[in-house]
Amino acid sequence: MQLPFEIFRDPRAMRAKAEDLRRDGRRIAVVPTMGALHDGHVALLRAARGKADVVILTIFVNPTQFGPQEDLSRYPRDEAGDIAKARAAGIDLAFCPDAAAMYPPGSQTFVEVRALQQPLCGASRPGHFAGVATVVAKLLNIVQPTRAYFGQKDAQQSVVIRRLVRDLNLPVEVIVAPTVREADGLALSSRNSYLTPEQRAAAPVIYRALTVARERFAAGERDAGALREAIRGALATEPGLSIDYVSVAEPMTLRELARVEKTALASTAVRLGATRLIDNLVLGAG
């Protein structure tokens, strides 16, 4: 039975609707986003569609995960366009609250994933993952899905969310879907829209650098320091790019490795002008 498409803005109304659906035995899948949907999001929506009775898209540009100097105010917003794309991908409902609905006066509870929120992006974005963990916990409680979909592009986010779901005993399965890339390898990101044509032309070096590490790993390199150096070396060929971090870490704990025994998460964050971009590849998987 097809649900009439509806956009919910009130958390209580959304939760009441989700409770009704659950009571009717419907399996809910959710794709939490900050909007500005690209083909990576659409891939998540299609994956969700395959396994659920009801697919809910959430769009919420969450202020608590932005630092004071970050791009909250200029983050791209296009709700009508997003809803059109998502409906074409088969969603049933959307949840698009505003900040006042999600954080009414007096709000002060934060979910902290204490170790995993520290390294990598956490080091240059203090408070970011507490903001992410908190809003994801809230969204999951409101939407009450059996499955929640996230993209591998945000690797640390996925690890943080898997951990909080396990640690807080949330009744949801976390699905992490592969990164979707442009033809030249650049990982899709809503922030790619900030790039000037020159920066856009330089940006594929990020994926190429990670690919160098993957090739070195495939050729037998197991020294994590050498793999990090290989990534740094490849990134250095683009003079307009500055490196935030280059990491070869254990994929679950995100601890930097000295040697790669089986698998590793090779990841990097760079800046092209004012735009910060991240990407990663898992070495030794599959």
Q: Is 41 a catalytic residue?
A: yes
Q: Under DSSP, is residue 248 helix (H, G, I), strand (E, B) or coil? A: strand
Nearer to a copy of itself, 112 or 256 (CB): 112
Compute the least distance from the CB of residue 253 to a copy of itself, in Å: 8
Nearer to a copy of itself, 11 or 40 (CB): 11
Compute the least distance from the CB of residue 217 to a copy of itself, in Å: 25
Nearer to a copy of itself, 172 or 234 (CB): 172
Catalytic one among 17, 41, 138, 153?
Answer: 41
Quickly tell me which residue has 């698998």 as its tokens: 263
Question: Any idea how long the chain is?
Answer: 286
The binding site for a copy of itself (CB under 8 A) comprises: 11, 15, 19, 22-23, 25, 106-116, 133-134, 137-138, 141-142, 144, 163-164, 166-171, 252-253
Identify the helix (H) or strand (E) that includes residue 42. Answer: helix 39-51
Quickly tell me which residue has 């929120």 as its tokens: 117
DSSP state of 35: S
- Asked if residues 266 and 152 have their Cβ atoms less than 8 Å apart, the reply is no
Nearer to a copy of itself, 67 or 233 (CB): 67
Q: What is the DSSP string of 164-205?
A: HHHHTT-S-EEEEEPPPB-TTSPBP-GGGGG--HHHHHHTTH
DSSP state of 231: H
Compute the least distance from the CB of residue 199 to a copy of itself, in Å: 37
Compute the least distance from the CB of residue 172 to a copy of itself, in Å: 10
Active site residues: 41
